[in-house]
Amino acid sequence: MSILAFTKGHGTGNDFVLFADPDGERALDERELAAISDRHFGVGADGVIRAVRSSRLPEGAATLDEDPAAEWFMDYHNADGSPAEMCGNGIRVYGAFLLDRGLIDLEVGETITIGTRGGVRHLTRTADGFEVDLGAWFVAEGEVRVDADGLDVPRPGLAIGVGNPHVVVALSDEAELDGLELGRAPELVPAAPQGANVEFVVPAEPLVEAGVGRIRMRVHERGSGETLSCGTGAAAAALATRHWAGQGAPDTWSVAVPGGVVGVRVFEVAGESHVALSGPAELVFDGALEL
């Protein structure tokens, strides 16, 4: 039996248990990670984040090759204990945790490089939270059919890659979005080899206001179920809506999720289209857990 000191945090309701393990001495197995995330018998969270130096774990070596400045690695696991490539809300909360623990110094407007399984990410501190450059994104070829509880028939979905896999489905109205039951993972045809997060979106009326696109979203995250927010999912949902809207669609989006509102921004880096996610990051409480 050992004691794990942890911090509970969230980004627009997408909640995490975070713990510091700078030297990589406290890797938890899948069973332990799932037990911590359990909302009835554990702390309760959508995932667990370990703060570890990139040099201290095998996955970190690749990020250091990509950018030697990536001292810190976000070792993120879903609520079922499975590893994930990236988490857009999680990396903002991770930044707040590193600051709170005195592991980094970062003033408003400054940027830090973070290693993830999805590659290096650049996190900037803002006046009211953080913005993360999620990197290059892409629209996958082919159509995906999505069946979910609450839909009368399967719907077409658009596969979007933003460092982890997503499928975005457009719905006709708010009532259809509210009527979804997302406790069960939506079924995808063809199935995603590594699974996928699935976002359901409805455009606001009007879609664009003061140059900003506006959508509402719900999501089922692979390995976690329905969550109050998904950062990379919000980015994917905005990108899909922008794609459907066609030429002249805005580059800046506001995405309403059950836990709040996040911002999405599309911009160019060396001729390559990147997407950034911005929003709050809150640390709620500290605790200790027997494992």
Long-range contact pairs involving 244-249 (C-beta distance under 8 Å, separation at least 24): 244/158, 244/170, 245/207, 245/213, 249/208, 249/213
Supply the DSSP string of 116-137, one letter for each residue: ETTEEEEEEEETTEEEEEEEE-
Catalytic hit among 36, 84, 185, 230: 230
Helices (H), 116-199: 174-178
As to burial, measured by CB atoms within 10 angstroms (0-12 exposed, 13-18 middle, 19+ buried), residue 76 is buried
Q: One-letter amino acid identity for 178?
A: D
The number of CA neighbours under 13 Å toward the Cβ of 32 is: 13
Distance CA 218, CA 224 (A): 14
Residues 70, 120: Cα–Cα separation, whole Å: 7
**Tokens 């997408």 identify what position?**
14
Q: Which of 20, 70, 84, 87 is catalytic?
A: 87
Any idea which residue has 């001292």 for tokens?
71
230 is catalytic: yes
Are 246 and 213 in contact by the 8 Å Cβ rule? The answer is no
Is 240 considered catalytic here? Answer: no
In contact, 5 and 88? CB cutoff 8 Å: no
d(CA 243, CA 247): 8
Structural contact between residues 92 and 128, judged by C-beta atoms closer than 8 angstroms: no
Gap between the Cα atoms of 63 and 159, Å rounded: 25
Active-site amino acid positions: 87, 230
